[in-house]
């Protein structure tokens, strides 16, 4: 039976510095050259992935924005786009403002990916914007009115703030649009104390994206092995043949794991893949 390996990035495949170690990159390069079926499923954008995974020849598309996009890593071309219904975007945007927050808006305008920002109202937002601009992320654009972006395909609204405030906002969104959206509330491990609430279309989940890959690439008879560390990985853990959590994974995710391996700082994912795939 063929095996397909799918790994989360931050806190799982990457070290705490958000970098793929030279060891992991070298081993993955060798295994991919030998025919390894491997890809990543992350909340990150393909633009960010291209920097982190540069030099790796992934035959399978990557899953970005938690499944909002399924994209070719090299070109960045989107094969699948799961955007939020425009009416839902407008409704959620009004809710966000009512809670005293301001979102970052991620979209596809038909030609390229965009990330819009207007008011940056806290240090958590400033950290994120600074990180992206420092990394020369070409998507980012200042805009006078965020609603001007709503004519595009909106794939994610990202709200950064304190946990309790965002928990209440998440509850309000679920109450009003729970059937049509997918939300995740996670602390930013690189900027502790600041939480991110991401809002996607209901079809933008890692499990649905993996099923799409399996169907579209003739992998229906393959064993699916996934790796993760956060609650946004739960759904893909549920559909996998083997669900592998790293030692630093959220306790809730570990409940769904078939195995817990070493931490993300020990190249544990790549070591497991090498041993499992080569049967050594």
Residues 68 and 102 in one domain: no
Sheet containing 78-81: order of strands = 62-64, 69-71, 78-81
Residues 90 and 191 in one domain: yes
Of 256, 227, 231, 201, the closest CA to residue 82 belongs to: 201
Question: Tell me, what CATH number does 74's domain have?
Answer: 3.40.50.1000
pLDDT band at 100 (very low <50, low <70, confident <90, very high): very high
pTM (two decimals): 0.92
Distance (Å) of CA 16 to CA 11, 46, 189: 7, 20, 8
Summarize pLDDT for 168-179 with one digit per residue, the tens. Answer: 999 999 999 999
Residues 64 and 171 in one domain: no
Residues 214 and 121 in one domain: no
Distance CA 270, CA 197 (A): 29
Q: Which of 201, 230, 257 is the last residue of a domain?
A: 201
Q: Which of 150, 172, 201 is the last residue of a domain?
A: 201
Q: Which of 151, 178, 201 is the last residue of a domain?
A: 201
Question: Tell me, what CATH number does 97's domain have?
Answer: 3.30.1240.10
1 pLDDT higher than 90: no
Task: Quote the number of domains for the chain.
Answer: 2
Distance CA 160, CA 108 (A): 21
Enclosing domain of residue 110: 86-201
């Amino acid at each position: 039976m063929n095996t397909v390996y799918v790994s989360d990035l931050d806190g799982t495949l990457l070290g705490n510095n958000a970098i793929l170690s030279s060891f992991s990159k070298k081993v993955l390069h060798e295994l991919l050259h030998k025919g390894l079926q491997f890809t990543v499923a992350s909340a990150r954008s393909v633009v960010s992935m291209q920097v982190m995974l540069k030099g790796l020849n992934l035959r399978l598309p990557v899953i970005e924005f938690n499944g909002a996009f399924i994209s070719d890593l090299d070109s960045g071309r989107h094969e699948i786009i799961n955007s939020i219904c425009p009416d839902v975007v407008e409704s959620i945007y009004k809710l966000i403002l009512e809670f005293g927050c301001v979102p970052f808006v991620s979209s596809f305008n038909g030609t390229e990916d965009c990330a819009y920002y207007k008011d940056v109202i806290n240090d958590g937002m400033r950290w994120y914007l600074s990180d992206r601009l420092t990394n020369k992320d070409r998507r980012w654009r200042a805009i006078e009115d965020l609603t001007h972006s709503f004519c595009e395909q909106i794939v994610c609204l990202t709200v950064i703030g304190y946990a309790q405030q965002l928990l209440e906002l998440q509850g309000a969104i679920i109450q009003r649009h729970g059937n049509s959206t997918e939300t995740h509330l996670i602390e930013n491990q690189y900027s502790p104390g600041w939480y991110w609430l991401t809002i996607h279309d209901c079809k933008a989940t890692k499990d649905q994206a993996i099923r799409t890959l399996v169907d579209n690439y003739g992998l229906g008879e393959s064993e699916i092995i996934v790796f993760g560390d956060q609650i946004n990985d739960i759904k893909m853990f549920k559909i996998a043949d083997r669900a592998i959590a790293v030692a630093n994974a959220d306790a809730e995710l570990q409940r769904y794991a078939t195995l817990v391996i070493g931490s993300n700082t020990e190249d544990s994912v790549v070591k497991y893949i090498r041993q499992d795939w080569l049967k050594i």
